[in-house]
Structure 1
């Protein structure tokens, strides 16, 4: 039984070799983070609930990419059926983070307060090397990329979906 809600954790990109392996783009900090999960899901219109569980036999890093072996994928033709499919885990399986750490999904949609006023809303993110930049859609409609650093993100209240920001003027 699939326990929703599900959280996007990766995406299959392209087959690798002839034996059913496939490259995966993971949305985790390290490959070791995947050890916290025992169940993975992909969309499947034929399955009850629209998702089916899959199992990884192996996930390894290879030349700055990740290559996975998925149970039941015996050759390149089978692996090609996964290309572009998103990989999910159950939200209840996410590890509890230490105080002061957040999942990106906790930050997205938060209202940003700056100098006591509503400045905008976090509506996207991207990563540049080891830095995460959140895109804040300002009240003016323009976007501002804000590094996820204590200098800019002073206080995050994920329950109230509010962020107290500082020093944003230097980014304008």
Structure 2
């Protein structure tokens, strides 16, 4: 798979391990509608080297039991534990103007309202109370978590590769 094709992949779930002894996997979905993960099948590994048709078999705690094409035994399923699964962006629905895929935000430069660089987005996290941008600040090994709200990040310019932020007092 070419570099640009890999860049056009969006993480939609992760294999959490085996489910039972007949090759089913525990599948965590990162989709807004969790069961939609099946609609984006076949799913790919991050490097695009493996492809898995996906069939959800039932809901379970924290996800789904699922069958992945080519996974026939518990051992096969166990080897996939922790593997992230990706869908090509063109299979995913278009987003409204003020919504973004996390993968689009990672790597963007973050500037304050005066144009000073605050760092780059290292990751996007959500622990239940809203999205947080994890920023890698220049010259620091520790990262900073900044709320990803319209009040704190009024401008997202994907074409220019940057976010404009008005961080809360004392964050930096």
Normalising by structure 2, we get a TM-score of 0.81
Root-mean-square deviation (CA, aligned residues, Å) is: 2.7
C-alpha displacement at 1:124, in angstroms?
1.7
The question of whether the paired residues in 2 share the 8 Å contact of 1:114 and 1:168 is answered with: no
Equivalent positions of 1:30-69 (< 5 A) are: 30-42=33-45, 51-69=49-67
Equivalent positions of 1:18-33 (< 5 A) are: 18-33=21-36
SS in 1 for 2:5: coil
Residue of 85, 88, 96 corresponding to 1:87: 85
Long gaps (5+) in structure 1: 45-49
Q: Which moved more, 1:69-78 or 1:35-44?
A: 35-44
Equivalent positions of 1:152-167 (< 5 A) are: 152-167=152-167
C-alpha displacement at 1:10, in angstroms?
2.2
> What is the aligned residue count?
167
Alpha-carbon distance in 1 for matches of 2:129, 2:40: 23
SS in 2 for 1:99: coil
The question of whether the paired residues in 2 share the 8 Å contact of 1:4 and 1:91 is answered with: no
SS in 2 for 1:153: coil
- Alignment-derived partner of residue 102 in structure 1: 100
Q: Which moved more, 1:160-169 or 1:31-40?
A: 31-40
Alpha-carbon distance in 1 for matches of 2:135, 2:56: 38
Normalising by structure 1, we get a TM-score of 0.81
Alpha-carbon distance in 2 for matches of 1:156, 1:43: 25
Deviations 1:33-70 (A, max 9, x none): 425413212379xxxxx623211122543122332122
Could you say which structure has the higher strand fraction? Answer: 1
Shift in alpha-carbon separation, 1:84–1:119, aligned structure 2, 3 A: closer
SS in 2 for 1:92: helix
Long gaps (5+) in structure 2: none
C-alpha displacement at 1:96, in angstroms?
1.5
